[in-house]
């Protein structure tokens, strides 16, 4: 297949002018009765007709790439296909036209959806209570740490417990959240395969430890076999253990943070439960906790008494609110639809598919690239391009001309020239074969040729170093 992305010489909308007298409904609305004191003299709006606005944004979208165009296997970030029925449900007027300040009695259906989603996530994670409020994974982490902090404060331990331990393979948001919540970050080295080094953990743990944060499987796609031992070490020191559950694609229906012994977990609905992210929509990062932390959850959560759903403000030590209203309700609807449609068996099968797809790809790529550590992976695999003599970045740029999105590159930081691939549950064998062939072809192309790519995209090779050093974030 030869891929050519659309390329338009598209002006900014503010520089466009339609110059037509053709009207569409809405153009001829009467002036709204705005009080004199609030009226502006002039407003610098573009003078464009509806059809020019539609065409402008459609052209821009054709110069872009998304999960609706092709495979998008960004490891860790999980760009899984977003099923359209879930979008349709979230767009239903019965939901989208609600106002968050409506009376409880008026919004029973919406409360039911959130209640059922709470229940499903609690079951999936084997935790006891949950908030749906946080608007992203990173905000979920921050919320979870504030909950731990309030608990330590309420139990008189906060004065001495000032440290949060994270492994060096952690997602960057983990130490960032810990630091923003006012803790000192202690980084511990992992074993070569990214699993926890028990001696390093033991040495770092002390009466000063507040929380240990970890994700399992780790960012190398390897499951931490000693996780119960890890949880016990942390608990024996009186600290809280936090599970980064941004991505549950390898464990859902198989095991859970609760079973592994964790006290707090955040979910990314936009990574595990097929809600859009990136340019496609706001995220959602619910946080579930074990019973002893329920009293610290943000308010309100959704409760049920008999047949009636209600806003539950009964948490005496609540950290307060962390998002407006209920959080990303349109995402709650999509995740609820995805979970309800698949059911427990379907979710488990999706886990199996995600892991199978990853290992199928690994088996196709292992003779061309080096795949460090155990060849058996969970939902994502990390390979290194070093043995091919090509840089990961060059191979990634080459893939663009095949009409496919490259994997995550240069993360995690503990493998040289690495690519982190997460195909997800919803790719076909045909797509996996195509991807593997493109990767293998790229590895054989000589360096000078690689450097010319991408050729068939509107944006050609960019100067990444200059882009990072000279940030220009605003068009002027």
Ligand X SMILES: *Cc1c(COP(=O)(O)O)cnc(C)c1O
Residue 392 DSSP SS3: helix
Residue 286, both tokens: 């619910």
Of residues 66 through 85, those in contact with ligand X by CB under 6 A are 76-77
Beta bridge partners of 289: 129, 264
Residue 85 DSSP SS3: helix
For tokens 């810990």, the residue is: 178
Part of the chain binding ligand X (CB under 6 A), chosen from 21-29, 134-142, 328-336, 354-362: 134-142
Nearest distance from C-beta of residue 271 to ligand X, angstroms = 6
Of residues 228 through 247, those in contact with ligand X by CB under 6 A are 244, 246-247
Torsion angles phi and psi, residue 170, rounded to 5: -65, 155
Q: How far is CA 319 from the centre of its chain?
A: 24
Which run of H or of E encompasses 124? helix 108-125
Is there a contact between 395 and 435 (Cβ–Cβ < 8 Å)?
Answer: no
Among 79, 136, 148, 457, binds ligand X (CB under 6 A): 136
The nearer residue to ligand X, 138 or 450, going by C-beta atoms, is: 138
Nearest distance from C-beta of residue 136 to ligand X, angstroms = 4
Nearest distance from C-beta of residue 174 to ligand X, angstroms = 7
Of residues 162 through 221, those in contact with ligand X by CB under 6 A are 171, 173, 215
Torsion angles phi and psi, residue 383, rounded to 5: -120, 165
Among 167, 217, 283, 300, binds ligand X (CB under 6 A): 283
* Nearest Cα residue to 273 out of 252, 258, 257: 252
CA distance linking residue 232 with residue 202, whole number of Å: 11
Part of the chain binding ligand X (CB under 6 A), chosen from 43-51, 57-65, 131-139, 368-376: 131-139
The nearer residue to ligand X, 221 or 285, going by C-beta atoms, is: 285
Nearest distance from C-beta of residue 131 to ligand X, angstroms = 15
Torsion angles phi and psi, residue 244, rounded to 5: -80, 100
Part of the chain binding ligand X (CB under 6 A), chosen from 62-70, 130-138, 387-395, 409-417: 130-138
Torsion angles phi and psi, residue 137, rounded to 5: -60, -45
* Nearest Cα residue to 408 out of 278, 243, 281: 278
Nearest distance from C-beta of residue 172 to ligand X, angstroms = 8
Q: Is 250 in the site for ligand X (CB under 6 A)?
A: no
Nearest distance from C-beta of residue 40 to ligand X, angstroms = 37
The nearer residue to ligand X, 76 or 190, going by C-beta atoms, is: 76
Among 143, 169, 268, 408, binds ligand X (CB under 6 A): 268
The nearer residue to ligand X, 183 or 309, going by C-beta atoms, is: 183
Residue 166, both tokens: 């994270």
Number of other CB atoms surrounding residue 333 within 10 Å = 23
Of residues 360 through 399, those in contact with ligand X by CB under 6 A are none
Among 73, 137, 144, 298, binds ligand X (CB under 6 A): 137
Which run of H or of E encompasses 333? helix 329-365
Q: How many chain residues are in contact with ligand X, going by CB under 6 A?
A: 14
The nearer residue to ligand X, 176 or 356, going by C-beta atoms, is: 176
Torsion angles phi and psi, residue 234, rounded to 5: -65, -45
- The contact mask relative to ligand X for 448-467 (x = CB under 6 A, - = no) is --------------------
The nearer residue to ligand X, 49 or 382, going by C-beta atoms, is: 382
Alpha-helical segments (H) within 155-197: 173-180
The nearer residue to ligand X, 118 or 177, going by C-beta atoms, is: 177
CA distance linking residue 172 with residue 410, whole number of Å: 13
The nearer residue to ligand X, 247 or 424, going by C-beta atoms, is: 247
Is there a contact between 138 and 177 (Cβ–Cβ < 8 Å)?
Answer: yes
Enumerate binding residues for ligand X (CB under 6 A). Answer: 76-77, 136-138, 171, 173, 215, 244, 246-247, 268, 283, 285
């Amino acid at each position: 297949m030869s891929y050519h992305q659309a390329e338009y010489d598209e002006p900014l909308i503010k520089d466009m002018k339609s110059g037509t007298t053709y009207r569409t409904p809405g153009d001829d609305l009467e002036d709204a009765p705005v009080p004199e004191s609030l009226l502006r003299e002039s407003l610098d709006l573009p003078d464009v007709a509806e059809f020019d606005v539609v065409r402008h944004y459609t052209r821009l979208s054709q110069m872009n790439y998304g999960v609706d165009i092709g495979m998008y296997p960004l490891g860790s970030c999980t760009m899984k296909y977003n099923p359209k029925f879930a979008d349709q449900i979230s767009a239903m007027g019965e939901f989208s036209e609600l106002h968050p300040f409506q009376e409880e009695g008026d919004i029973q259906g919406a409360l039911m959806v959130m209640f059922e989603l709470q229940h499903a996530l609690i079951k999936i994670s084997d935790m006891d209570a949950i908030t749906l409020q946080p608007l992203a994974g990173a905000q979920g982490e921050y919320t979870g740490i504030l909950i731990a902090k309030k608990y330590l404060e309420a139990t008189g331990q906060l004065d001495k417990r000032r440290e949060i331990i994270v492994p060096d393979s952690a997602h960057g948001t983990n130490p960032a959240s810990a630091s923003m919540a006012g803790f000192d970050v202690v980084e511990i080295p992992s074993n070569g395969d990214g699993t926890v080094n028990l001696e390093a953990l033991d040495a770092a743990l002390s009466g000063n430890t507040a929380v240990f944060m970890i994700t399992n499987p780790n960012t190398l796609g390897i499951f931490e076999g000693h996780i119960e031992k890890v949880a016990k070490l942390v608990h024996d020191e009186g600290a809280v253990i936090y599970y980064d559950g941004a991505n549950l694609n390898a464990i859902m229906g198989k095991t859970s943070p609760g079973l592994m012994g964790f006290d707090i977990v955040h979910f990314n609905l936009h990574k595990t439960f097929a809600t859009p992210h990136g340019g496609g929509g706001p995220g959602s990062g619910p946080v579930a906790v074990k019973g002893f932390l329920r009293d610290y959850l943000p308010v309100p959560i959704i409760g049920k008494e008999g047949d009636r759903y209600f806003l539950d403000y009964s948490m005496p030590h609540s950290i307060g609110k962390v998002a407006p209203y209920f959080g990303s309700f349109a995402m709650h609807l999509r995740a609820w639809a995805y979970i309800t449609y698949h059911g427990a068996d379907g979710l488990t099968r999706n886990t199996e598919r995600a892991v199978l797809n990853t290992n199928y790809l690994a088996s196709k790529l292992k003779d061309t690239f080096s795949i460090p550590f155990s060849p058996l992976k969970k939902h994502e695999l990390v390979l290194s391009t070093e043995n091919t003599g090509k840089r990961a970045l060059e191979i990634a740029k080459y893939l663009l001309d095949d009409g496919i999105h490259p994997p995550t590159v240069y993360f995690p930081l503990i493998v040289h020239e690495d690519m982190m691939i997460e195909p997800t549950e919803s790719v076909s064998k045909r797509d996996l074969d195509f991807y593997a062939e493109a990767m293998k072809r790229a590895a054989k192309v000589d360096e000078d040729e690689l450097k010319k790519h991408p050729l068939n995209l509107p944006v050609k090779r960019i100067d990444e170093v200059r882009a990072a050093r000279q940030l220009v974030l605003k068009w002027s």
